[in-house]
């Protein structure tokens, strides 16, 4: 199937591993899904310490379940990417551990206080749901199929994050002040979650033409702001003066893009910031620490069946 035929036939779940697709499509889909899978894994690493730091047993159990979900999402997505025939799951995991794999900007920053957890659990996961709901209709069927399960579970994650936000917003004055401080710090990062503005996006046009992307970065950002600015205000959070958020005549919101630090964003996107290296280092150390387990399992598989399995994360 040539590229023009792919563009003509692109639609919800239009293509599967049985189709002979051009390499350009396979590479674009692999890049997109690998980025998503990496982000699920790195998001779990960012939140993992709060299993211990959570203030109650119920919160610890909920955070433990959430982290397990995110790791599982990553594995589903690596399999969906692997089915395109460009890279194996092992190769993608190695790239992530070696600093070559890209992932979402929000997961490059450290998270140190419990009051920061709803910034990921409610706002970032809420932003993710805006994007992921559209992905259930992408043209690569294994990706869309994985999104059915992922979106179902992410919906619970957002509810969990909102419950923490509500608890802090109705807590002591000190908790409310710390929550506002966390919001002030994370708000610009959350708005940049959707990636560069449409005029700076290098992959949108092609991805849109072949059915891998159904809404532009700016469209997704506006939809998120329109839904979540009122929600932030509902919980007593004050929207920072910058970046400026403007309300259109139709009631939707937009951000003044020039108020955002895009130089920092693109430095992070290339894994070149100090925070990026720290987060990637944690992933690398963990992968190295369990390498002996992989070796034992591979050797056992070779001994019993004559083949070696894919390494588990």
Domain-embedded: residue 245: yes
CATH for 207? 1.20.1260.10
Report the mean per-residue pLDDT for the chain. 91
230 in any annotated domain: yes
Asked, for residue 254, whether it belongs to a domain, the answer is yes
Rg (CA), the chain: 20
Phi and psi (nearest 5°) for 254? -145, 155
**161 falls within a domain:** yes
| Segment 258-295, tens digit of pLDDT | 999 999 999 998 888 877 777 787 777 777 777 777 67
pTM over the 0.75 mark: yes
185 part of a folded domain: yes
Q: For 29-87, write each residue's pLDDT tens digit.
A: 999 999 999 999 999 999 999 999 999 999 999 999 999 999 999 999 999 999 999 99
Print the domain residue range for 22: 3-305
Does the residue 310 lie in any domain? Answer: no
User: Which DSSP string do the residues of 184-246 spell out, in sequence order?
Assistant: HHHHHHHHGGG-S-GGG-SSHHHHHHTTS-SS-HHHHHHHHHHHHHHHHHHTTPPPPSSS-EE
Dihedral angle computed from the Cα positions of residues 37, 40, 42 and 47, in that order, rounded to the nearest 10 degrees: -170
Distances (CA, A) of 44 to 63, 77, 120, 205, 211: 10, 14, 11, 30, 28
For residue 272, the model assigns a pLDDT of 86
Query: Is 313 among the domain residues?
Result: no
Assess contact for 300 and 308: CB atoms under 8 A: no
Tokens of 50: 């709060």
Which tokens belong to 244?
């400026």
- The whole-number pLDDT of residue 279 equals 79
Give the DSSP H or E segment for 253: strand 253-255
Could you tell me the two tokens for 142? 């294994």
State yes or no: pLDDT of 312 exceeds 70.
Answer: no
Average pLDDT rounded to a whole number, residues 231-240? 97
DSSP 107: G
Domain total in the chain = 1
Tell me the pLDDT band of 198, cut-offs 50, 70 and 90: confident
Residues 260 and 273: their CA atoms lie apart, in Å, by 17
Mean local confidence (pLDDT), 154-167:
96
In a domain, 104, yes or no: yes
The reported pLDDT for the residue numbered 303 is 82
> What whole-number distance in Å separates Cα of residue 28 and Cα of residue 233?
38
First to last CA, the chain: 35
The values of phi and psi at residue 4, to 5°, are -65, -35
């Amino acid at each position: 199937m040539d590229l023009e035929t792919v563009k003509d036939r692109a639609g919800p779940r239009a293509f599967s591993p049985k189709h002979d697709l051009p390499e350009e499509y396979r590479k674009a889909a692999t890049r997109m899904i690998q980025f998503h899978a990496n982000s699920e894994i790195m998001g779990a690493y960012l939140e993992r310490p709060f299993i211990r730091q959570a203030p109650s047993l119920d919160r610890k159990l909920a955070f433990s379940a959430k982290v397990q979900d995110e790791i599982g999402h990553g594995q589903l997505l690596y399999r969906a990417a692997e089915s395109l025939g460009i890279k194996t799951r092992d190769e993608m995991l190695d790239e992530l551990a070696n600093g070559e794999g890209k992932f979402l900007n929000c997961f490059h920053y450290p998270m140190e206080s419990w009051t920061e957890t709803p910034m990921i659990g409610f706002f970032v996961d809420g932003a993710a749901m805006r994007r992921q709901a559209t992905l259930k209709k992408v043209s690569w069927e294994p990706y869309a199929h994985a999104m059915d399960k992922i979106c179902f579970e992410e919906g619970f994650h957002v509810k969990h994050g909102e419950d923490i936000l509500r608890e802090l917003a109705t807590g002591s004055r000190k908790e409310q002040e710390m929550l506002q401080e966390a919001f002030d710090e994370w708000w610009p990062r959350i708005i940049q979650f959707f990636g560069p503005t449409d005029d700076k996006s290098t992959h949108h046009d092609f991805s849109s033409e072949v059915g891998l992307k159904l809404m532009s970065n700016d469209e997704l950002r506006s939809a998120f702001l329109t839904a979540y600015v009122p929600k932030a205000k509902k919980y007593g959070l004050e929207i920072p003066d910058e970046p400026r958020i403007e309300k259109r005549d139709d009631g939707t919101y937009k951000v003044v893009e020039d108020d955002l630090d895009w130089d920092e964003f693109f430095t992070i996107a290339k894994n070149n910031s100090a925070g990026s290296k720290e987060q990637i280092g944690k992933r690398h150390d963990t992968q190295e620490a369990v390498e002996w387990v992989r070796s034992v399992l591979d050797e056992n598989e070779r001994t019993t069946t004559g083949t070696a399995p894919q390494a588990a994360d």
